Amino acid sequence: MIFLFKTSNKYFYLLGVGGSCFLGFVFLYFLKKSYNNKNNKFIESDNNNKNNFEKEEKEMSQQLIEIRKKINDYSKLKYPTKQGILFKKSRYLKEWRNRFFVIEEDILYYFDIEKGNNSNKPIGTPLGIFNLLNCSFTLITNEKRSPLVFKIQEENGTNKDYKNCLISCESAEEFNQWFQLLPQIKQTMDRKKDLVIKLQALSRKKLQQKKYQQLKESALTIQRFYHLYEGERKLARFIFNVIKVQSYARCFIDRMRYKKIKEEIMVIQSHFQVIKAKNRLEKEFMRRRIAQELLSTEKSYVYNLKLIIDIFIRPLINFNSIEQRVLSVSEISGVFGNWERLYKINSDLLVLIQCKLDNWSIDQTIGDLFIENTDSLFEYTPYVTNYDHSRKLLAKLTSGNTNFRNFLDAAQRDKRSKYLDISSFLIQPIQRLPRYELLLRDLLKSTSTLHKDHKYLSKGIVKIKEITMYVNDQQKERENLSQVIQIQKELIMDNIKLSFSSATRLIREGEIKVSKKKTWNYMYLFNSQLVIIQKKDDKKLVKEVIQLEQLGIRDDNSSSSNTITNDSGTDLLNNSSNNLLLLSSTISSPDLSSSGTNAINTSSQALPIGTIGNKFKLIISSKTEISLYFDTPEEKNNWFADIAITLNRLETQKKNFEKSINLQTIN
């Protein structure tokens, strides 16, 4: 301005100086205003950054709290990639501290270390975490502590320097491992992320292609359907007219066909009724035929019973009365038993069956006869149980008694016997009871379920079966008793034969060893006694006779030893008699080691004698103990179970006897 208005006129000079000052003041005003605006923006930006940092710190703290809830201990980290103790220097404390670092997936955790005793064990919850996907790793060379230092810096979108710390190691090898592993994890996860993005893009592309193809096919389909629809409309009109004509024709045909079908149905119904009546008639014929077979077999059986009495029993008795004795009365009774009583029973039964057949009709019943009049068949028991003795006695008398042999030959030549020997007749009562059951079952099959005899026949079969089972059981008891008597005859103690009146049933027998002796002994378990013998030559020397009332057994196979006794002062099997019933059900079971008693080891593999699994102990009068050893655990288990069940039965019998005595006393 000075140069522009340089003149001798002072007014112009002052005007130039004043204008310059004014312009300077204006320039300074706008300069200050611009500076204040920039400063305000900087302060506002700084405040925003500070607020963002505090917000991120808060979010980080919240994230750490959530992680600490899930991972409250180092052991919660199931699959760590790498772990170890490193030195950490944070940007706030500015000091190095030992921390236990663990990498799991893409997260780096660090824990505090237990202090004292040079312990390297991590304790407590994580002190902090680093998300390796957002971290950068920088090698630090100017650190005073050690040249082996690198920096971990976690970044996010708003704050580039979100979180960082320095990491140091003692050894170069470990330092290299950590420094190389951390970036590799980030790179691996980045590659996985890129791969997932590519796969998603490829999947979307394929999906779009598929949708395009579907749309194209749909458009073609719509076009085809449209053309078909037009054609179907025309066809429908034509078909409607055709159907209308057909309906009129069909109505006429149906009327004619209905009349014809009605006639055919009536014919079929008549045939069906004929067939049904024929089936009923055939069943009734079969039922009558089986009933007649029952009558004819009963007649033949009763005839043979009478024949034995006429040809054999009465002549033999008459010979005794005229002093021409062939057999004694006891021998006759031993061979024929209660034969005459059987004849009386079956004669009465034959009369009842004959009466049923004489008055036979469609509604006739025959099953009630075997319900009400067959209790007398229990008298077959003495004959059946005596049959083996009868057969042996007959063979003995036939070979040793010439007169009896001649008598049998003469009787066999009698025409009434049809030239059959006496054995063919003696076996018939044994076969008769099962024959009744078979005939009744055949009769039941031919009887309608609506017939009232169906219920009677079912009950009659059950009744005959009960009688047969009872007779067979008695026969088995007789055979067992004979075996017991034979064994008792063979037992010797001090050259004196013993007899045990209370021992009526043999339960088990077999070889044992007593107290790890080298020689095998033999043991019998009766229903009331336990007998241990030693076989010497052909003799059976009795070593020990133990009454079961004074006996207890203990199996030391398990940690909790189980004792079973039959003493009145001790409960059975850990003070629970019910467990013996469970034990009895496991005799045939191959797996008893898991039962509640823990008393039986079921391994079938043979173990050395003296092994715990092969032995148990006998306790006599709660004082004396005898250890019994067996060849296999399976054999030991069977013996233990049988003795336990026998003791349980004796205890039950004793209690029942005491109850009956008490009831008699009360009455």
What single string gives the DSSP state of each residue in 237-276? HHHHHHHHHHHHHHHHHHHHHHHHHHHHHHHHHHHHHHHH
Structure confidence at residue 440 as a pLDDT band (50, 70, 90):
very high
Distance CA 337, CA 379 (A): 11
pLDDT single digits (tens) 581-610? 333 333 333 333 333 333 333 333 333 444
Q: Residue 122 pLDDT > 80, yes or no?
A: yes
Per-residue pLDDT, 610: 42
3-state DSSP call for residue 230? helix
pLDDT single digits (tens) 92-119? 667 788 888 988 887 888 888 887 666 6
Structure confidence at residue 48 as a pLDDT band (50, 70, 90):
low
DSSP strands (E only) in 275-334: none
Query: How far, CA to CA in Å, does 434 sit from each of 447, 466, 468?
Result: 20, 11, 7
Strand partners of residue 129: 109
Distance CA 639, CA 630 (A): 9
Burial annotation 39-48 (CB, 10 A radius, 16+ → b, else e):
eeeeeeeeee
Q: What is the mean pLDDT of residues 565-582?
A: 39
Per-residue pLDDT, 304: 93
Share of the chain above pLDDT 70, in %: 79
Per-residue pLDDT, 598: 33
The residue type at 646: T
Backbone φ and ψ for 627, nearest 5 degrees, come out as -90, 130
Structure confidence at residue 613 as a pLDDT band (50, 70, 90):
low
pLDDT single digits (tens) 209-225? 989 999 999 998 998 88
120 or 311, higher pLDDT? 311
Dihedral angle, C-alpha 643, 647, 650, 651, nearest 10 °? -170
526 or 666, higher pLDDT? 526
Q: What is the mean pLDDT of residues 12-20?
A: 58
Q: Which of 167, 154, 149 is nearest to 97 (CA)?
A: 167
pLDDT single digits (tens) 185-195? 877 877 888 88
* CATH match of 505-556+613-666 with 2.30.29.30: yes
The answer to whether residues 100 and 111 touch, using CB atoms and an 8 Å cutoff, is yes
Share of the chain above pLDDT 90, in %: 14
pLDDT single digits (tens) 236-266? 988 998 998 888 898 989 888 888 888 888 8
Q: Which of 52, 96, 101 is nearest to 80 (CA)?
A: 101
The two beta strands, 96-104 and 529-536, are unpaired
Q: Residue 12 pLDDT > 50, yes or no?
A: no
Tokens representing 260 are: 């014809």
Domain segments of the chain: what residues?
24-70, 72-181, 288-467, 505-556+613-666
Per-residue pLDDT, 421: 85
Q: Which of 548, 544, 541 is nearest to 502 (CA)?
A: 548
Q: Which of 547, 540, 592 is nearest to 565 (CA)?
A: 547
* CATH match of 72-181 with 2.60.40.1170: no
pLDDT single digits (tens) 392-435? 899 999 898 888 888 888 888 888 888 788 888 999 999 999 99
Per-residue pLDDT, 586: 35
The residue type at 22: F
Round the average pLDDT of the chain to a whole number and report it.
78
| Cβ neighbours of residue 411 closer than 8 Å, sequence gap 6 or more | 311, 312, 315, 417, 422
Per-residue pLDDT, 342: 93
pLDDT single digits (tens) 52-88? 545 655 666 777 788 887 887 778 787 788 888 888 8
Task: Give the CATH H-level superfamily of domain 288-467.
Answer: Dbl homology (DH) domain (1.20.900.10)
Q: Which of 106, 105, 88 is nearest to 97 (CA)?
A: 88
H/E run at residue 456: helix 452-490
pLDDT single digits (tens) 159-204? 555 678 888 887 888 888 888 888 878 778 778 888 888 898 889 8
Per-residue pLDDT, 607: 37
pLDDT single digits (tens) 306-317? 999 999 999 888
Terminal Cα-to-Cα distance of the chain (whole angstroms): 153
H/E run at residue 512: strand 506-514
Asked whether the domain spanning 505-556+613-666 has the same topology as the one spanning 72-181, the reply is yes
Per-residue pLDDT, 629: 87
Per-residue pLDDT, 497: 54
Distance CA 261, CA 253 (A): 12
488 or 9, higher pLDDT? 488
Quote the crossing angle between the two packed helices 172-308 and 339-358, to the nearest 10°.
90
Q: What is the mean pLDDT of residues 575-579?
A: 35
576 or 305, higher pLDDT? 305
- DSSP class of residue 556 equals -
Q: Which of 605, 584, 599, 582 is nearest to 637 (CA)?
A: 599
